[in-house]
Amino acid sequence: MNTTALVADSGSFVTAQLIMREKEAVLDTWMKQQLAAITQRADLINAAELRAQSEAFLDLFVAAIRTGNVTDISTLVYQPIVKALQTMSAARALQGFSPTETATFVFSLKEALLPILSTALASQPELLAREAITINLLLDKLGLVTFETYAKSRETVINRQATDMLNMASPVIQVWDRILAVPLIGTLDSRRTQLVMESLLNRIVATGSAFAIIDITGVLTVDTMVAQYLLKTVAAIRLVGADSVITGISAPVAQTMAHLGIDLSRVVTRAVMADGIRYAMAKTGQQVSQS
C-alpha cells in the first residue's frame, strides 16, 4: 500500500482513502463483528441484507468524513447517515433487539477500521493516534444516535402495549340490544379512565346504543381526578344521546367519594351490575321474555 499518498492527504482523508482501498476487507471484518454480537437474533438477520446495509452506511461515512468534518454530526452532510441509523435502530427495536445489539452496528466498525489504520500508518504513530482518536470519537457520537432512537422506539412500543393492555383490561361489551357495559377492575388512574371514556363513547356512537353501564365493582380506590373523569364520562354519554348508570360502588369507594365531596346526586347508581342491567332495560323499554 502506498502510505506516502495517504500521509500527503492527512487528516480525515486518510481514513476515507483507506476505507475505499480496503473496502471489501473492512466489510468482511465488520460483518464478522456484527454477526458475532447478534447471535441471539440470528434468525431475524439476513446476512446479504446486512452486508448491503453496512456497505451503504460505509459509503455515506466516507462521503461525510471526506468533507473534513469529523466532529459535528448535526450538520447537513451527516443527515443521510443519521437518518439511516435512525431507521435501522427503530426497526431493530420493533424486532426485539437489545440496545447493545443495535448499537453494535456502529461500534463494531471501530474494530474493523483499527487494524487497517494500524497497518497502513505503522510508520507514522502520531498520525495513527490522531486518526484513531478522531474516528473513535466520531463513531461514538453516531453510536449514541442508535441508543437514542432505540430508546424512543422502545418507549413507543411500551406505551402502545400499555394502551392495548388497558383496553383489554377495560373491554366495552354489549350486554343487550342497545345496552353497553364496561366493567372496570383494578386501579383507576386519570389516563386509564380517559381511555375508557374515549372507547366507550366511540362504541356508543358506532353501535347506536342508548344506554351505558359503568361497573366499578372491581375498583378498590377512586381519587378526585378519577371521580371527575367518571362524572365527565356520564356527561359526555348524555351529549351523544345516551343514558348511563354507575354500578358496583363499594362501601370504601362511597366513603372516599363522600369524604372528597364528590356529588353524585345527578348520577344514577345501582348496587350491582344486574340491577344496572334491569334499570337499563326498563329505560329502553325492553324486557326478558321467558319461553
pLDDT digits (tens, 9 = 90+) for 182-193: 988 777 777 777
> What one-letter code names the amino acid at 270?
R
| Owning domain of residue 187 | 173-283
Same domain, 76 and 178: no
In this prediction, residues 42-61 reach a mean pLDDT of 86
Are residues 146 and 217 both part of a single domain?
Answer: no
- Where residue 236 sits, what CATH number does that domain have? 3.30.750.24
d(CA 29, CA 85): 20
Cβ count near 39 (within 10 Å): 9
* Domain count for the chain: 2
- Quick check: is 112 in a domain? yes
Mean pLDDT in residue range 84-101: 87
Task: Examine the fold and report which residue of 135, 160, 185 is the final residue of a domain before the chain moves on.
Answer: 160
Q: Which of 160, 195, 210 is the last residue of a domain?
A: 160
* CATH number, domain with residue 17: 1.10.490
Indicate whether 118 belongs to any domain. Answer: yes
* Residue scoring higher pLDDT (25 or 224): 25
Average pLDDT of the residues in 103-107: 91
pLDDT computed for residue 8 by the predictor:
39
Q: Report, as an integer, the average pLDDT of 133-160.
A: 87
Average pLDDT over residues 108-114: 91
Phi and psi at residue 183, to the nearest 5°: -85, 125
Give the domain-ending residue among 131, 160, 189: 160
Query: Would you give the end-to-end CA distance of the chain in angstroms?
Result: 96
- Decide if 165 is inside a domain: no
How many angstroms separate the Cα of 221 from the Cα of each of 48, 119, 181, 276?
56, 69, 20, 21
Look over the chain and give the mean of its residue pLDDT values, rounded to a whole number: 85
Q: In angstroms, rounded to a whole number, what is the distance separating the alpha carbons of residues 116 and 186? A: 60
- In the sheet where 243-247 sits, what is the strand order? 173-176, 179-186, 211-219, 243-247, 269-270
How many whole angstroms from its chain centre is CA 255?
39
Q: Is there a domain that residue 130 lies in?
A: yes
Q: Which of 3-12, 14-23, 24-33, 241-250 has the lowest mean pLDDT?
A: 3-12
pTM of the complete model beyond 0.75: no
pLDDT level of residue 11 (50, 70, 90 thresholds): very low
C-alpha cell at 86: 435512525
For residue 9 the three cell numbers come to 492527504
Q: Is there a domain that residue 291 lies in? A: no
> Does one domain contain both 192 and 256?
yes
Do 97 and 209 have their domain in common?
A: no
- pLDDT interval class at 73 (50, 70, 90): very high
The answer to the question of residue 245 being in a domain is yes
